[in-house]
């Protein structure tokens, strides 16, 4: 029986490790003491520590049993040897005869040729692989599960100590991939415009604040078991859908979530880690790190989705153990760094301190992106590998204009960044001076600039921006951010608040646009292979009209006696518009019958978001009071390019002649029939695209609040008729892109695009 098989063996080793690492000795001496202690406790003749460089090579940093002269000399290329195999799989590798393994690589300077048994474990922190810890013996043997467990616990404790910066100096950290220190500029995707310079705060919903090593393993196991019971109870309560008025949450999604919460293998792994000498919190973190490292490398989208479930369960479990949310107390000038974030989480943060957001994932059309734009928060997303490159406290510059993020900028570069932020602030002040000036082109065409909204936080920007109304109020955000179906009186209160803020300015309410990527947690839905083309928006509303009728009553009550401007999303056939209008008329009659005030006038319009309805437009315009082009979806369907897929989302240019001919067709039919037409997609807020839309004949744009100033400045410098003539010619010259011609024209005319 070895020392680690005896009661308290794990804890004894961990206490020794803690004592060695807490000493005042130089880093190398402490690492040497570490590997010696592990070898002694595990009866191993060799213990070695390899750390990973930024190029993924592995350097021998400490050893007991191999040649001391090989330390800082032996370096394995990326993926080389048994150490490289541990790196590749992020799992322990346990071999009784290492030299016969196909990945074995021999470095003669180490003197390791006599050794046959090999056990290597990854040194992981937050799913990031920092290095490999390995033990070896001359005789062939298969290391016990107890040995594997002990080495994994030591590896976790070591990862926390090394990555904290308490062990290695700044110069040493530069040479290994633990805490990056050099300047890096990462190219991502523009999600929300703006510039921010601040301090990186890592989005870790339940950061550990407890000791890693347990004083009493049995107590930690009981704490963990109690927390698991509480976690299961909370998930069961969520599954039962207490207070749910729609008959229960999504059974498919929550059933999978509930299955993970009751997965015995996961729970056994947690209890093993807690019983081996780690605190309950550290046990959760260790198991989370193992799953994260493996699932992040999975090719299957399903397995990568499951990572989010496990991450959330681990965070919930840590909260049941008493962990606190560090985002509740942000530092000044905080830039949040996250894999992804939900809109509700974003709204809960201290906006006075939060200056920017950067995401490994993220999409310009996601819910969080729309909330960020409402908050005027610069956001860059789709930064692959971001969390491996940034540490808490790093200086970080967010360039929402170019879609770039700079980590740890040099002092001179930081001065330039501050100058850009100041210049942008001065431009915003100049836009503010245009607030009350009508948007009129040089040739006298009046352009109406309204704003997009969907949240209460948007409302103050009506006056600040000089918007002439709300051209698109996304009503689904109230539903998406709530834990239960908003009661009718809650909906009425929001809609009245919007109308009160607008005063005599028009407000266009879009009815619920759900489905696709907008799923309510308290409404059942089925997994779809292609959600954007599936059961969503008006299709869902007409098949299950209860929710739409519930909302229509709130809108009718909120606008009683006034004007109701209402718009139905994703109309694909004229019959769909007729059916939606019939539901609205029926609810108005019902409200009047029960003595409620009803709108004095109703304007019912349709969103033009599919090519199908474009070619039925003349018939639709005989029945709809107005139309609004939802360019995000219309371009998605026109180009057959999923706007959530980064490989194709920006592959096609909106200024493509084919797309412009379709948009021009819509504008011409609108003028012919005398029905107002506006553009409310995100493209209307981009100055270059807005100029072309105006030249095509659109005279009403609904844009994000922050875009009103720049677009108005462009309108005041634009000669609409002149650009329209040029545009007609450019569209007949496919060899030169329209955008290229437009930019040359703008430079010549001094048009600010």
Measured in degrees and rounded to the nearest 5, phi and psi for residue 547 equal: -70, -40
Asked if pLDDT for residue 725 goes beyond 90, the answer is yes
Asked if pLDDT for residue 3 goes beyond 50, the answer is no
* Residue 609, pLDDT score: 94
The pLDDT-based confidence of 321 (bands split at 50, 70, 90) is confident
CATH class of 184-205+326-425: alpha beta
298: three-class secondary structure by DSSP? coil
User: Is the separation of the CB atoms in 698 and 678 below 8 Å?
Assistant: yes
- Helix (H) or strand (E) holding 702, with range, is strand 700-703
Long-range contacts, stretch 105-108, CB < 8 angstroms, 24+ apart: 105/76, 105/80, 105/81, 107/70, 107/74, 107/76
In whole angstroms, what separates CA 264 from the centre of its chain?
A: 30
680 is catalytic: yes
CATH class of 437-749: alpha beta
Residues in the chain, total = 753
The encoded tokens of residue 89 equal: 């799989």
Q: Give the integer Cα–Cα distance in Å for 136 and 121.
A: 12
Q: What percent of the chain has pLDDT over 70?
A: 81
Query: What is the CB-side half-sphere exposure of residue 532 using CA atoms within 13 A?
Result: 16
The more confidently predicted of residues 574 and 428 is: 574
Q: Give the integer Cα–Cα distance in Å for 83 and 104.
A: 9
- Helix (H) or strand (E) holding 543, with range, is helix 537-543
The pLDDT-based confidence of 244 (bands split at 50, 70, 90) is very low
Asked if pLDDT for residue 431 goes beyond 90, the answer is no
Mean pLDDT across the chain, nearest whole number? 82
Tens-digit pLDDT profile for residues 493-506:
999 999 999 999 99
Q: Give the integer Cα–Cα distance in Å for 509 and 514.
A: 15
* Residue 536, pLDDT score: 76
* Residue 543, pLDDT score: 85
Q: Give the integer Cα–Cα distance in Å for 160 and 208.
A: 11
453: three-class secondary structure by DSSP? strand
Q: Give the integer Cα–Cα distance in Å for 698 and 597.
A: 35
Nearest CA to 404 out of 199, 652, 197, 655 is that of: 197
Mean pLDDT over 519-539 rounds to 66
Q: Which of 10, 64, 291, 367 is catalytic?
A: 367
The correct CATH number of 3-175 out of 3.30.750.24, 3.40.50.920, 3.40.50.620, 3.30.450.40 is 3.30.450.40
Least confident of 261-265, 362-366, 439-443, 468-472: 362-366
Tens-digit pLDDT profile for residues 682-720:
789 999 999 999 999 999 999 988 889 999 999 999 999
Q: Which of 47, 271, 680, 687 is catalytic?
A: 680
Mean pLDDT over 641-667 rounds to 83
The top-scoring range by mean pLDDT among 16-25, 325-334, 348-357 is 348-357
The CATH T-level fold of domain 217-320 is Enzyme I; Chain A, domain 2 (1.10.274)
* Residue 330, pLDDT score: 83
Pairing mode, strands 184-187 and 195-202: unpaired
367 is catalytic: yes
Check residue 649 and report its DSSP letter: T
Q: Give the integer Cα–Cα distance in Å for 394 and 200.
A: 5
The more confidently predicted of residues 396 and 263 is: 396
Domains of the chain by residue range: 3-175, 184-205+326-425, 217-320, 437-749
DSSP character string of 359-407: ESS--TTSHHHHHHHHTT--EEE--TTHHHH--TT-EEEEETTTTEEEE
Tens-digit pLDDT profile for residues 98-154:
999 999 998 999 988 889 999 999 988 766 778 899 999 999 989 988 888 888 888
Least confident of 269-278, 350-359, 450-459, 654-663: 269-278
Asked if pLDDT for residue 293 goes beyond 90, the answer is no
* Residue 428, CA distances (Å) to 333, 376, 460 in order: 20, 12, 16
94: three-class secondary structure by DSSP? strand
Pairing mode, strands 507-510 and 470-474: parallel
Q: With the C-alpha atoms ordered 535, 540, 544, 546, is the resulting torsion angle positive or negative?
A: positive
* Residue 344, pLDDT score: 59
């Amino acid at each position: 029986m070895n020392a680690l098989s005896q009661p308290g063996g794990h804890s004894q080793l961990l206490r020794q490790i803690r004592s060695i690492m807490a000493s005042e000795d130089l880093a190398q001496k402490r690492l040497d003491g570490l590997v010696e202690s592990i070898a002694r406790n595990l009866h191993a003749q060799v213990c070695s520590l390899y750390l990973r460089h930024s190029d993924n090579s592995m350097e021998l940093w400490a050893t007991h049993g191999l040649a001391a002269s090989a330390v800082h000399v032996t370096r394995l290329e990326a993926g080389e040897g048994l150490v490289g195999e541990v790196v590749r799989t992020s799992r322990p590798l346990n071999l009784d005869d290492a030299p016969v393994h196909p990945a074995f690589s021999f470095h003669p300077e180490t003197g390791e040729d006599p050794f046959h048994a090999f056990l290597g474990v990854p040194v992981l922190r937050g799913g990031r692989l920092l290095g490999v810890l390995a033990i070896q013996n001359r005789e062939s043997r298969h290391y016990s599960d107890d040995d594997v467990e002990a080495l994994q616990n030591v590896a976790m404790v070591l990862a926390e100590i090394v990555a904290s910066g308490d062990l290695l100096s700044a110069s040493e950290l530069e040479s290994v991939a633990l805490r990056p220190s050099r300047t890096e500029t990462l190219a991502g995707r523009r999600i929300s415009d703006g510039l921010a310079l601040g301090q990186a705060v890592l989005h870790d919903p339940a950061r550990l604040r407890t000791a890693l090593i347990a004083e009493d393993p049995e107590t930690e196991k009981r704490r963990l078991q109690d927390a698991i019971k509480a976690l299961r109870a909370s998930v069961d309560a969520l599954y039962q859908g207490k207070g749910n008025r729609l008959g229960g949450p999504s059974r498919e999604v929550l059933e999978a979530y509930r299955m993970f919460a009751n997965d015995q293998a996961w729970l056994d792994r947690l209890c093993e880690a807690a019983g081996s000498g780690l605190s309950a919190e550290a046990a959760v973190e260790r198991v989370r790190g193992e799953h994260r490292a493996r699932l992040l490398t999975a090719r299957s989208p399903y397995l990568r989705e499951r990572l989010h479930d496990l991450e959330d369960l681990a965070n919930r479990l840590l909260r049941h153990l008493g962990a606190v949310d560090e985002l509740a107390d942000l530092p000044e000038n905080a830039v949040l760094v996250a894999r992804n974030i939900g809109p509700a989480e974003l709204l809960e943060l201290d906006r006075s301190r939060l200056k920017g957001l950067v995401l490994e994932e993220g999409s310009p059309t996601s819910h969080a992106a729309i909330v960020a734009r409402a908050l005027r928060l610069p956001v860059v997303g789709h930064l692959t590998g971001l969390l491996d490159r940034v540490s808490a406290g790093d200086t970080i510059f967010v360039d929402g204009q170019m879609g770039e993020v700079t980590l740890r900028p040099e002092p001179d570069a930081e001065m330039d960044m501050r100058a850009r932020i100041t210049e942008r602030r001065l431009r915003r002040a100049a836009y503010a001076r245009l607030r009350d000036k009508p948007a009129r082109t040089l040739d006298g065409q009046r352009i109406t600039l309204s704003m997009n909204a969907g949240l209460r936080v948007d409302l103050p920007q009506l006056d600040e921006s000089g918007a002439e109304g709300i051209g698109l109020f996304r009503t689904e955000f109230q539903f998406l951010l709530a834990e239960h179906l908003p009661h009718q009186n809650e909906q009425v209160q929001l809609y009245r608040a919007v109308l009160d803020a607008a005063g005599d300015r028009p407000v266009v309410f879009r009815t619920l646009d759900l489905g696709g990527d907008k799923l309510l947690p308290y409404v059942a839905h089925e997994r779809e292979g292609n959600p954007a083309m599936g059961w969503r928006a008006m299709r869902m509303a007409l098949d299950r009209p209860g929710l739409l009728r519930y909302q229509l009553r709130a809108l009718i009550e909120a606008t009683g006696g006034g004007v109701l401007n209402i718009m139905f999303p994703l109309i694909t056939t004229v019959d769909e518009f007729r059916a939606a209008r019939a539901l609205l008329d029926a609810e108005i009659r019902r409200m009047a019958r029960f003595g409620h005030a009803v709108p004095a006038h109703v304007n019912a319009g349709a969103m033009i978001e599919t090519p199908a309805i474009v070619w039925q437009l003349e018939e639709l315009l005989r029945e709809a009071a107005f139309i609004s082009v939802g360019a995000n979806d219309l371009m998605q369907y026109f180009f057959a390019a999923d706007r959530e897929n980064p490989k194709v989302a920006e592959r096609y240019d909106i200024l493509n002649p084919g797309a412009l001919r379709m948009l021009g067709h819509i504008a011409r039919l609108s003028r012919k029939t005398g029905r107002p037409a506006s553009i409310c997609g995100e493209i209307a807020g981009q100055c270059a695209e807005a100029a072309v839309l105006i030249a095509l004949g659109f005279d009403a744009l609904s844009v994000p609040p922050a875009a009103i100033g720049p677009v108005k400045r462009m309108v005041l410098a634009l000669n609409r008729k002149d650009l329209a003539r040029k545009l007609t010619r450019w569209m007949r010259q496919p060899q030169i892109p329209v955008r290229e011609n437009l930019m040359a024209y703008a430079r010549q005319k001094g048009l600010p695009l």
